[in-house]
Amino acid sequence: MQNWQWSFRDNQQLVIELDRNIFQPLRFKRSLLRDRLPETVSFSMDDASQFQRFSDYLDSYSAFSASEQFELALHACALVRFGKLMLPQSWYFKFGEFDDVHPWPSTHLFCALDSGLEQADFLIIEQDDRCSLCMLVDEQFSLDGIRTLQRFDVVRVLNDRLQVSLRHPLPVVYDSTQQRA
């Protein structure tokens, strides 16, 4: 990791150079990344820490192959470093089982979101008391019959939309009717 370099090619695509002439392109839309990114920047200690955090979590709680875990962790790390601030788009999703009284557990980075058409699994990239930035880990997900997300697409939602993922189930599932009473 000490020689890894982030590169932003042709002002369009973020890539990481893992070794001399070994590049891993990151599949983000340009609109998800901050403006005025440097052409090349070193993979920092903070990047390494984030990458290791996501890698360890994925290794513990997912059935993804090692190469898929690597790619997911790398995309998550890139979002932490270069992601643009996004407004919540919670209107696409059904309410989950969590709210201010029963907050989402910070130890669970896998969550599910339900659009009413289907449910998919996401990885929580960043979270605060109100919102979570979530990256799709399933292959695709239909939001409304018109708009479809692809793996690595990102959405910010209010935490009350988060649902339990079977990839990392919670030991106790809250009764949502009790929470909203």
All structural domains of the chain with their residue ranges: 5-82, 90-179
pLDDT for residue 116: 93
| 40-42 and 119-127 beta bridge pairing | unpaired
Amino acid identity at 90: S
**Run means of pLDDT, 10 residues per run, the chain, 181 residues:** 82 84 86 83 94 96 94 96 91 86 87 95 94 96 91 95 91 52 41
pLDDT for residue 180: 44
* Per-residue H/E/C for 94-150: CCCCCCCCCCCCCCCCEEEEECCCCEEEEEEEEECCCEEEEEECCCEEECCCCCEEE
